[in-house]
Structure 1
Amino acid sequence: MDCVSTSKQLPQPDRDEIRVDAVLQALGEPVRLMIVRMLADTSEGIACGELELPVTASTRAHHLKMLRESGVVSTRTEGTRRISALRREDLDALYPGLLDGVLAAKQ
């Protein structure tokens, strides 16, 4: 029997449902901004357990949920792992230059 890899996308807003106020609120929190900076360096995404952050696992999960619900990241499950990736294409299409400006800002 062949092993089949299944991936499931967690609920997130469609591109036309992403609102700038939710994106700005999500990006305005320092830990979430750290996550976005880490995700900006990879197109394939990062498993939540691999994100090195100065917070507990439950707080990290909360921040990732806030980023996903605001439309900043997408999250999919692969087995027991949750992989998050930056929704750069969607954000650039909706708010040109916003993400680049945020990422270029001093930390």
Structure 2
Amino acid sequence: MARPRSSPRTVEHPDLAEVSLQQVLEALGDPVRRTVVAQLSRADEDLSCGTFDAPVSLSTLTHHFNVLREAGVIRQYYVGTAKLNTLRTEEMEQRFPGLLSAVLSASALEGERGAVRAPTPPPSGSRRRR
């Protein structure tokens, strides 16, 4: 028999003063995580974990949410059994002015140009001159 919860579920979030620029840049460097951040920035409301359009499994997406939360980029909270996500836009702007908007703008431009492509190899048989 399950025991009733005595307190609501909570999620731990870092104080942004404790988060390094390196940690935020590493979190935002992954294209799946940038997709999550972009979807949150366009949403009119906070989004539950299962509503994101991402090219990974839900368990992998959970990992990406954890990385973003630990880097201070998103805040997660429970409403009933649903875990909702929101950007920490104002807090991020205070800690790292302009960073989030710059990453979102660059990511949007990259998306307009299509997926990042691998460099085109030189024609077969050609050699680089020294």
**TM band (smaller chain):** 0.7 to 0.9
Give secondary structure in 1 for the equivalent of 2:14.
Answer: coil
In the other structure, the counterpart of 1:35 is 36
What is the Cα-based RMSD across aligned positions, in Å? Answer: 1.6
Find the counterpart in structure 2 of residue 19 from structure 1. Answer: 20
**TM-score normalized by the length of structure 2:** 0.73
Q: For structure 1, which segment, 66-75 or 13-22, has the greater mean C-alpha deviation from structure 2 after superposition?
A: 13-22
Gaps of 5+ in 1: 1-5
Structure with higher Rg: it is: 2
Q: Which amino acid aligns with 1:66?
A: V
Deviation digits for residues 80-102 of structure 1, max 9, x if unmatched?
11101111011100111111111
Structure 1 residues 9 and 93 mapped into 2: Cα distance closer, same or farther (>3 Å)? farther
Task: Give unpaired runs (5+ residues) of structure 2.
Answer: 1-6, 111-130
TM-score (normalised: structure 1): 0.88
Q: What's the secondary structure of 1:82's corresponding residue?
A: strand
Runs of 4 or more, structure 1, over 2 Å off, are 6-9
Aligned-pair CA distance for 1:16: 1.4
Where is the strand percentage greater, Structure 1 or Structure 2?
1
Q: Which moved more, 1:65-74 or 1:39-48?
A: 39-48
State how far apart, in whole Å, the 2-side matches of 1:15 and 1:29 are. 20
Higher relative contact order (CA 8 A, sep 6+): 1
